[in-house]
């Protein structure tokens, strides 16, 4: 499967709300495999959303600590417990920033064949799922930062 280039943080496609997947066909399976290959092509990559390779569909892949998979049309249920930890984005490589996220997530969606899928995650994997789901809504992690921090981050990638 071909590794795709990852769109940079400033690419307008990352600000587009992705369309729900309605057809679970061969093209979707090719997309999932391409996302997985692209995610695995670099060190330290734990998740990737379809918009990051320029495809505005609601598909994410993840792989962390031996747990890997994908979700199509994910919906997240977030715990009230929050934790602050450094977060990064493959669209802004090498930049880490502290960000508060829910510590636990239940993500429900479908697999590439249309079968229901549920992922329960804690800690870093929960953070990865929240980060990738944000991409599907045109939200970048910098949007969660206070204005002054956001300005500092954006200045660091300019």
SS3 70: strand
- Rounded distance, CA 76 to CA 118, Å? 10
d(CA 154, CA 158): 6
Tokens representing 148 are 């002054």
From 19, 87, 132, 147, the catalytic residue: 132
* Cα–Cα distance, 91 to 84 (Å, whole number): 21
Beta bridge partners of 83: 101
Active site residue 80: no
CA 7, chain centre distance (Å): 13
C-alpha–C-alpha distance, residues 46 and 67, integer Å: 10
Residues catalogued as catalytic: 132
């Amino acid at each position: 499967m071909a590794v795709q280039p990852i769109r940079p943080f400033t690419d307008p496609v990352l600000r587009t709300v992705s369309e729900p997947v309605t057809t679970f066909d061969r093209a979707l399976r090719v997309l999932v495999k391409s996302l997985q290959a692209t995610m695995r092509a670099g060190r330290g990559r734990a998740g990737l959303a379809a918009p990051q390779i320029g495809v505005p569909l609601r598909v994410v892949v993840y792989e962390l600590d031996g747990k890997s998979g994908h979700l199509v049309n994910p919906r997240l249920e977030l715990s009230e417990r929050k934790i602050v930890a450094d977060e990064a984005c493959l669209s802004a490589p090498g930049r880490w920033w502290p960000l508060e996220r829910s510590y636990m997530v239940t993500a429900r969606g479908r697999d590439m064949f249309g079968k229901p899928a549920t992922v329960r995650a804690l800690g870093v994997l929960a953070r990865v799922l929240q980060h990738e789901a944000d991409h599907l809504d045109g939200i970048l992690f910098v949007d969660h930062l206070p204005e002054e921090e956001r300005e500092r981050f954006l200045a660091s990638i300019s």
